């Protein structure tokens, strides 16, 4: 009696049991500056030739803004080009918002993103060597780019990390087969 | 010549090839890579200066300004102004793609000795060559073609405006001029009347010459295909220039043909 139930459970669990997962944790540091604006951040997966295999997130001002002095409306995408590597590799090819990728800017703190190999944007990611890239650009602040090389799909659980210096804090990348 | 015309002429001379003046003619775009959808503005300054890219000499005349949009249509410059040391104008970008901003000067110049024995200089179009007095002596006519250009891209770069016209000295980017990054090699081709300009000397200077003790000029030579490549040592605005003289004129009465091409290119950090 027990064996069929066990088999049934395994069968139900099968899609996720065979799906690799990737968790990204991006830290936006708390900065003590006179004028602070939340950074624009892009998170993507880059192939060895630096082309973009998957966009994971881009956080920017989604709504049109208003210039404080002139009252003139400004599209939120106006400063996206400041994420200059992402803009060059992917952003300029996109129409905004990017479904499932675009999001509002985030406050200081740790931000988690979870992905699974059976769902977009990781579904269909070919076997190979990649880099996780995180780029941050802050209005009247700095710019920082972090990357973590990895192999896909993961053969064993991996806990990868990188440390930012000014615009980004700790970056963690956990891969599970 | 009234003073106004005189300094216009001086500034014009600065952007002509092989002019005796050492002043460098240039355009300075406020931004070259933009992401604001279908409603973006850039402002452009035009000047001839000794320092790159500080304004310390003369404005460039904008009579021959041509802004071309990604679709090949002319874009009217707005808020056009002429100051004592630089001219400026705005370009409204309403379509995604690459825009070319250029000051192109083509015509003929002449030197002669008039009936009173005075040495004179004249500049104009081929059609107006008749303005040179019939009794002028030692008439030397030279044909000139020069362009001072820069490029700006809204959204995805396009290459419509990069296609050569087949006239004069032209830079044909192999690497897109709004896709230049420090440490990466960029490739360009020079054409002379549509054909590869081989063995052409090309000068490349980074801006900010006022703040360093050397010009740090890079001199490159084009190969048999008219091509050369540059690896940018630092981010910033660069002045790229090539000039030719002693070319066979296409204007019947001219003895010499001088050509020049200048571009301002922005190189971004990685």
The secondary structure of residue A99, as a DSSP letter, is T
Classify A151 in phi/psi space as left (phi over 0), alpha (psi -120 to 50) or beta.
Answer: beta
What is the structure's pLDDT at A71?
75
What is the structure's pLDDT at B17?
53
Residue A13 resides in a domain: no
Taking the CA of residue B205 and the nearest CA in chain A, the distance in Å comes to 23
Q: Give the DSSP H or E segment for B78.
A: strand B78-82
CATH number of B3-106+142-264: 2.60.40.3880
Chain B residues touching chain A at CB-CB below 8 Å: 33-37, 39-40, 155-157, 179, 181, 268-270
Residue A66 resides in a domain: yes
ipTM: 0.84
Whole-structure pTM over 0.90, yes or no? Answer: no
Contact yes or no for B259/B171 (Cβ under 8 A): no
Residue A1 resides in a domain: no
Contacts of A129 (CB under 8 A, 6+ apart): A48, A149, A150, A151, A152
Q: Does A90 touch chain B (CB under 8 A)?
A: no
What is the structure's pLDDT at A13?
43
**How many domains does chain A contain in total?**
1
Q: Does A91 touch chain B (CB under 8 A)?
A: yes
What is the structure's pLDDT at B178?
97
Residue A6 resides in a domain: no
Q: Give the DSSP H or E segment for B56.
A: none
Chain A residue numbers with beta carbons less than 8 Å from the beta carbon of B156 are 92-93
For chains A and B, CB pairs below 8 A equal 33
Taking the CA of residue A51 and the nearest CA in chain B, the distance in Å comes to 14
Q: Which runs of consecutive H residues, i.e. helices, occur in A57-171?
A: 84-89
Contact yes or no for B48/B7 (Cβ under 8 A): no
Bridge partners, residue B244, by sequence: B259
Residue A4 resides in a domain: no
User: How does strand A102-103 pair with strand A52-59?
Assistant: parallel
Q: What is the pLDDT along chain B (270 residues), one digit of tens a residue?
A: 344 444 455 445 545 554 445 699 999 999 999 998 889 999 999 999 999 999 999 999 999 999 999 999 999 999 999 999 999 999 999 999 999 999 999 999 999 999 999 999 999 998 899 999 999 999 999 999 999 999 999 999 999 999 999 999 999 999 999 999 999 999 999 999 999 999 999 999 999 999 999 999 999 999 999 999 999 999 999 999 999 999 999 888 899 999 999 999 999 999
Backbone angles phi, psi at B43, to 5 degrees: -115, 145
Q: What is the rounded radius of gyration, in angstroms, for the C-alpha atoms of chain B? A: 19
Structure tokens belonging to residue B115: 């009936």
Long-range pairs of A79-82 with CB within 8 A, sequence gap ≥ 24: A79/A40, A79/A137, A79/A139, A79/B35, A80/A40, A80/B35, A81/B33, A81/B34, A81/B35, A82/A40, A82/A137, A82/A143
Closest to B36 (Cβ–Cβ): which among A77, A85, A91? A77
- List average pLDDT for each run of 10 residues in chain A, which is 177 residues long: 48 58 97 94 97 97 76 83 97 94 96 96 95 97 97 96 98 97
Residue with tokens 């001088």: B258
Q: Which runs of consecutive H residues, i.e. helices, occur in B114-218?
A: none
Tell me the C-alpha to C-alpha distance, in Å, between residue B146 and each of B12, B115, B155, B255: 10, 32, 29, 17
Residue A10 resides in a domain: no
| Domain range annotation of chain B | 3-106+142-264
The secondary structure of residue A63, as a DSSP letter, is S
Tally of CB atoms within 10 A around B105: 21
Structure tokens belonging to residue B258: 């001088």
User: How does strand B137-154 pair with strand B33-34?
Assistant: parallel
- Name the residue in chain B with its Cα closest to that of A64: B36
Contact yes or no for B255/B249 (Cβ under 8 A): yes
Query: Is B33 in Cβ contact with A87 (below 8 Å)?
Result: yes
Residue with tokens 């030719």: B244
What is the structure's pLDDT at B21?
53
Backbone angles phi, psi at B214, to 5 degrees: -125, 155
Residue A48 resides in a domain: yes
Domain range enclosing A78: 19-176
Contacts of B52 (CB under 8 A, 6+ apart): B24, B26, B205, B206, B207, B208, B209, B237, B239
- Name the residue in chain A with its Cα closest to that of B156: A92
What is the structure's pLDDT at A8?
46
Nearest to A137 by CA among B92, B269, B215, B6: B269
User: How does strand B236-247 pair with strand B201-206?
Assistant: antiparallel
């Amino acid at each position: 009696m027990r064996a069929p139930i066990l088999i049934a459970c395994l069968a139900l669990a099968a899609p996720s049991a065979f799906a690799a997962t990737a968790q990204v944790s991006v830290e936006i540091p708390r900065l003590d500056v006179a004028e602070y604006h939340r950074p624009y951040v892009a998170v993507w997966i880059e192939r060895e030739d630096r082309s973009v295999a998957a966009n994971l997130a881009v956080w920017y001002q989604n709504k049109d803004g208003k210039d404080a002095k002139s009252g003139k409306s400004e599209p939120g995408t106006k400063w996206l080009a400041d994420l200059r590597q992402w803009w060059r590799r992917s952003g300029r090819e996109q129409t905004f918002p990017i479904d499932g990728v675009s999001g509002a800017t985030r406050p200081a703190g740790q931000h988690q993103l979870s992905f699974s190999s059976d769902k977009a944007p990781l579904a269909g990611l070919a076997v190979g060597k990649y880099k996780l890239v995180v780029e941050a650009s802050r209005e009247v602040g700095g710019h920082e780019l972090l990357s973590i090389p990895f192999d896909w799909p993961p053969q064993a659980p991996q806990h990868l990390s990188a440390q930012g210096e000014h615009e980004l804090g700790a970056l963690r990348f956990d891969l599970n087969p | 010549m009234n003073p106004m015309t005189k300094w216009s002429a001086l500034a014009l001379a600065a952007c002509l090839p092989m002019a005796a003046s050492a002043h460098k003619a240039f355009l300075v775009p406020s931004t070259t890579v933009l992401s604001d959808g279908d409603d973006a503005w850039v402002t452009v300054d035009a000047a001839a200066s000794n320092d790159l890219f500080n304004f310390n000499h003369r404005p460039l005349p904008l009579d021959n300004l041509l802004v071309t949009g990604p679709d090949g249509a002319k874009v009217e410059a707005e808020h056009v102004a002429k100051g004592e040391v630089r001219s400026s104008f705005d370009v409204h970008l309403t379509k995604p793609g690459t825009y070319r901003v250029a000051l192109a000067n083509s015509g003929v110049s002449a030197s002669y000795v008039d009936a009173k024995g005075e040495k004179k200089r004249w500049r104009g179009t081929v059609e107006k060559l008749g303005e040179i007095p019939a009794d002028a002596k030692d008439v030397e006519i030279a044909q000139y073609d020069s362009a001072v250009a820069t490029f700006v891209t809204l959204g995805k770069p396009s290459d419509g405006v990069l296609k050569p016209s087949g006239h004069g000295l032209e830079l044909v980017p192999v690497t897109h001029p709004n896709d230049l990054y420090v440490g990466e090699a960029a490739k360009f081709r020079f054409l002379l009347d549509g054909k590869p300009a081989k063995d052409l000397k090309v000068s490349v200077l980074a801006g900010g010459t006022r703040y360093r003790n050397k010009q740090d000029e890079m001199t490159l030579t084009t190969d048999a295909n008219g091509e050369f490549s540059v690896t940018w040592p630092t981010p910033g605005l660069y002045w790229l220039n090539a000039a030719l003289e002693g070319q066979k004129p296409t204007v019947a009465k001219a003895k010499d043909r001088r050509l020049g091409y200048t571009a301002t290119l922005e190189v971004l950090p990685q």
